[in-house]
Amino acid sequence: MDRVGGVVPFARFMELALYAPGLGYYEHATVGRKGDFYTSVSVGPLFGELMALQGVPWLEEVEEPVWVEAGAHDGRFAADFLGWMRANAPSLYGRMRYRIVEPSVRRRGWQQQTLGEHGEIVEWVDAVAPFSGVLFGNELLDAFPLERFGWEGGTGTWFRWGVQAVGSGFGWCRLPAGPIEQTPLAGLPAALLEVLPDGYTVECSPMAEQWWGNAAAALRRGRMVTLDYGYDAAERFRPERTRGTLRGFRAHRFVDDVLADPGCVDLTAHVDFGRIAEVGERAGLTSELLETQRRFLTGIMAQTLKPGECADFGEWTPSRVRQFQTLTHPQHLGHSFRVLVQARL
């Protein structure tokens, strides 16, 4: 807690809870059936294989192709991706580089253990450096610390949600909103503000937007791809989201109190893809698509079924079919997840 008053903005609380060296959630979290949450990678190798299939034409468009992954966690996606590339696109595999953006020493160790067999093809960096190829992030942007703003109906003003020490735990408090020009709150129509209930909460992540903008500036030629659960600009304000989209997960269950047990709970919120797309476009990128994961992966899968195309992808075994159903089913990952692809070609 801040020494003055024992209060911090929620963004600072989230940053410490997730990333404090040696103590933050992502310094020790496990993913999958034995962990706290599933990702598309947890389902099985199919997700990485489909992305590798899609990645072949993207990477072949540049002379010295680099696939940059941010948010690689234990390296499982990279292993699935590179394993398929080595078996099915050996020429490209031999001349590409797989660059992992990873500032955490502990997570880098996990990744090196997982990816040892791929040798010099894999390299690690602390931040995105200039590259040509593809930047990829799966469930990356939702994990950046975020600001939470609430509407105070009585005064017709916004406030910032903060966190304060309460006994041996933590509780919510209201702080001045400060400048709102760079938040989703600027320029809202009066008709909308008139119907917002007291305490209506929206989130934004200036850190995620800044990161995306910096990465876009580093892209010389190629694409940036991010997959996450989120919404577009038209869905930014919804009547059912009066308390925002912030959620806590532990052992695959929602946590009622997201402020309890910091460092032991995954904190996450929906990504505002409308704002992320705007950041990329301001950096000179062209938005190629923003659609559900279901439609995106179905389009890739369809390529494997065309006669004479993608014959090396392999048989659609019962295991692959089950994985695909989980990745695309509306009640699993297919509907709530969005895919944004932006390009500089």
Residues in the chain: 345
Q: Which two tokens stand for residue 181?
A: 């020009």
State the burial class of residue 142 (Cβ atoms within 10 Å of its Cβ: 0-12, 13-18, 19+).
buried
**Which spans in the chain are helix H?**
10-19, 46-59, 76-88, 90-95, 105-114, 190-193, 206-218, 273-282, 293-304, 318-328
DSSP symbols for 54-96: HHHHHHTTSSS-EEEEE--TTSHHHHHHHHHHHHH-HHHHHH-
> What pLDDT sits at residue 174?
94
324 closest CA partner among 73, 69, 34, 45: 45
Q: How far apart are CA 211 and CA 50, in angstroms?
A: 26
> What pLDDT sits at residue 4?
46
18 closest CA partner among 275, 248, 337, 273: 248
Can you give the pTM of this predicted structure?
Answer: 0.91
- Sign, CA torsion 215/216/217/221: positive
Contacts of 175 (CB under 8 A, 6+ apart): 7, 9, 159, 160, 161, 162
Q: Which two tokens stand for residue 114?
A: 């997982």
Q: How far apart are CA 205 and CA 111, in angstroms?
A: 27
Q: Which two tokens stand for residue 206?
A: 């200036």
Cβ(105)–Cβ(35) below 8 Å? no
**What separation in angstroms does the CA of 117 have from each of 72, 86, 122?**
17, 11, 10
> What pLDDT sits at residue 310?
58
> What pLDDT sits at residue 194?
92
> What pLDDT sits at residue 127?
96
Q: How far apart are CA 108 and CA 53, in angstroms?
A: 26
Tell me the pLDDT tens digit for each residue of 68-124: 999 998 999 999 999 999 999 999 999 999 999 999 888 899 999 999 999 999 999
Q: Which fold has domain 38-144+205-237+270-344?
A: Rossmann fold (3.40.50)
Cβ(140)–Cβ(149) below 8 Å? no
pLDDT (tens place) for every residue of the chain, 345 residues total: 544 458 999 999 999 999 998 889 988 755 544 445 568 898 999 999 999 999 999 999 999 999 999 999 899 999 999 999 999 999 999 999 999 999 988 889 999 999 999 999 999 999 999 999 999 999 999 999 999 999 999 999 999 999 999 988 999 999 998 887 778 888 899 999 999 999 999 999 999 999 999 999 999 999 999 999 999 888 889 999 999 999 998 876 888 899 999 999 999 999 999 999 999 999 999 999 999 999 999 999 998 887 666 557 888 999 999 999 999 987 666 568 999 999 999
Q: Which two tokens stand for residue 30?
A: 């496990």
Q: How far apart are CA 19 and CA 33, in angstroms?
A: 23
| Domain ranges across the chain | 38-144+205-237+270-344
Main-chain dihedrals φ then ψ at residue 110, nearest 5 degrees: -60, -45
